[in-house]
Amino acid sequence: MVSRQSKLQEDTYFRVMRILQENPDLTQRELAQMLGISVGGLNYCLKALIEKGLVKMRNFANSKSKFGYVYVLTPSGAVEKAAITQRFLQRKMEEYEMLKVEIEELRQEIESTLDTNTGKA
């Protein structure tokens, strides 16, 4: 069984790779803001992705970054992103189904409470 921490980490990897695929010249600060995480947390994540060979950091003269770096997905990064995307989508679909059940239970609870309080049978 995959731990909650592992799922959160994979979700972060997914979001980082997804954004970088579309915007490779974002600064770490911009990317961290988009993700709602600290720059230090993003740096840790990027290092892990680089160590795994999923992302490369390249020097790029036209980058808007002060240091002129871009982050690009490697071919293996693109393959892994596809696999992570599939797992992410599966988890979200399962969460959606559980939420639908919970919403229906809450609706029934409200109806039951209203029926009890208004004297309906």
Which tens digits make up the pLDDT trace of 53-112? Answer: 999 988 766 555 556 678 888 999 999 999 999 999 999 999 999 999 999 999 999 999
Q: Phi then psi for 78, rounded to 5 degrees?
A: -65, -40
Q: For residue 84, give the 3-state DSSP assignment.
A: helix
What is the C-alpha radius of gyration for the chain, rounded to an integer number of angstroms? 21
Judge: domain 4-90, CATH 3.90.550.10: no
Q: Give which of 25, 9, 32, 17 is closest to 80, Cα–Cα.
A: 17
Say if residue 1's pLDDT is above 80: no
The overall pTM is greater than 0.85: no
The string of DSSP letters for 8-32 reads HHHHHHHHHHHHHHH-TT--HHHHH
- 101 by Cβ neighbours in 10 Å (0-12 / 13-18 / 19+) ranks as exposed
DSSP symbol at 60 = -
